[in-house]
Amino acid sequence: MSRSVNKLILVGNVGRDPELQTTPKGHKVANFSLATSRRIPRENGFEERTEWHRLATWGRLAELAEEYIRKGDRLYVEGRIEYGSYERDGVTIPTSEVVVRELVMLGSASGRAVNGAALENADTEEELVDA
């Protein structure tokens, strides 16, 4: 049997503070965004391209993200990408989201002492299936 892998690694800057919510089943989830950028060579220099990623953290990691992570902080993130969609006015809108398993705080926009702080999701996949 062949195996498959859905693993994503990002290093970027937080675009907005995490927002902590509780699902109807009592699971904690924090949502926030991360910006990554790259330089593309052009005839007269370089063009900066920024991509925005929607992130979701669950359980204790969600609580820690809400407490410690702020807009502008630099993060290393590991997780998986999930695709979905929703309907608005009869139109199907596709979505994508990074479900974070681990993150490392590389720097703080406000100078807080968080450099190198590693946060890892302790919840198991089974606990989050019915979230």
Sorted by sequence, the CB contacts under 8 Å of residue 43 that are 6+ apart come out as: none
Note the pLDDT tens digit of each residue in 55-92. 999 999 999 999 999 999 999 999 999 999 999 999 99
Note the pLDDT tens digit of each residue in 94-117. 999 999 999 888 876 655 544 445
pTM reported for the whole predicted model: 0.77
Round to whole Å and give the CA distance between 57 and 82: 13
- Looking at residue 124, its pLDDT comes to 41
Q: What is the mean pLDDT of the chain?
A: 85
CA pseudo-torsion sign 82, 15, 111, 38: positive
Tokens encoding 57:
């953290």
Domains of the chain with CATH codes: 8-128 (2.40.50.140)
Nearest of 45, 19, 42, 40 to residue 30 by alpha carbon: 19
User: Per-residue pLDDT for 118 more than 90?
Assistant: no
Residue 116 β-bridge partners: none
- Going from the C-alpha of 27 to that of each of 10, 22, 23, 24, 123, the distances in angstroms are 25, 5, 5, 8, 10
